[in-house]
Amino acid sequence: MVTARIAGIGAALPPLYGQEQLWEDVFRWHFSRSRLAERIFTGSDVRTRHSATDPAEFKAVADWSTAERMARYGEVAPPLGLSAVRDALGAARTDPDEIGLLAVATCTGYRTPGLDIELARLLPLPADARRLLIGHTGCHAALPALGTVADYVAAHDRPAVLLCLELTSLHLQPASIDPEQMVSHALFADAAAALVVLPEAASGLRVVDVDSRTDTARRNQMTWDITDLGFRMGLSAEVPDALAEQVGPLVKDLLARHGLDPGDVAAWAVHPGGPRILDAVEAGLELGPDALATSRRVLAEHGNCSSATVLLVLQEILAAGPPAGPVVALAFGPGLTLYAALLEPDD
């Protein structure tokens, strides 16, 4: 059977802004100088984050229609995505004309012809390359997309690309005193991250298995609703407790199928949805205090970039050198859904 391996990861990041400055210049006034909002921003563990929207525009963007926001997405997303994909292709030493599948995951912008078609034109991809757009899945989209891409590579013996691109800044909501909006505006940021999966690559992380767990009884704890004024996040304070309950059984079942347990894992690439999310994963898996250091660093430096974030974490893990053993990637989203991927380095 053909082995699918992650051979290269790339990223493209919009301009960087300091969290403290964003609070002082924009969000202090957006949330009516709320002390609760200030505590949420201070306690977010985010120091800097990227935004494709100039903060000077935030006040205007909050009143934009969804059509106006989608028009801006159509302008900004293609060059950002192109840069991330080219970065990943360079890391994998792969040419665009070798690609058999391009999968694009995004929950922050839509149009047809879409981002996948624009990238097929700009790269360019061969005419017979397949395209797959994975929309409105949320923060966990990278991992089911990775599973699909790896299955394609294994079945067709042909390279594939996955791009996760999110422009959450386009969905700034009108001024309010809603705590859920305070949390989402304190955490979320913009980014594009891509990876290349090759058949029988000389090196890279082998995609061993992907698994999921969905708690539909808690489906309303995390939402992403389309409104006339962009997309609106709903994020219950109960989400971390739900993840702490579910993440242990998911990961232990995944590892047990391959004769492993959490103690065998060399690195954890966990989506940093927020500091409480990471605390919940640590508790649910009984991890040591340094196990999620990379995820916490990505949260501090980039914020929560929705589906792209777990790929940024994985990129940092690989930048430190080949892992000494298995890697587990974890991401979470609406459903309430948890996804886990088992990745293994060369023997």
| Closest C-alpha to 44, from 60, 61, 22 | 22
Cα distances from 327 to residues 66, 196, 251, in angstroms, run 39, 17, 12
To 10 degrees, the CA torsion angle through 241, 304, 327, 192? Answer: 150
What is the β-pairing status of strands 267-270 and 327-333? parallel
Q: Which helix (H) or strand (E) covers residue 190, if one does? A: strand 190-199
Q: What burial class does residue 48 get, using C-beta atoms within 10 Å of its C-beta: 0-12 exposed, 13-18 middle, 19+ buried?
A: middle
Strands 190-199 and 327-333: unpaired
Q: How far apart are CA 252 and CA 271, in angstroms?
A: 18
Distance in angstroms (rounded) separating the CA atoms of residues 314 and 235: 25
- Concatenating the DSSP letter of every residue in 84-139 gives HHHHHHHHHT--GGG-SEEEEEESS---SS-HHHHHHHHTTPPTT-EEEEEES--T
Active site residues: 139
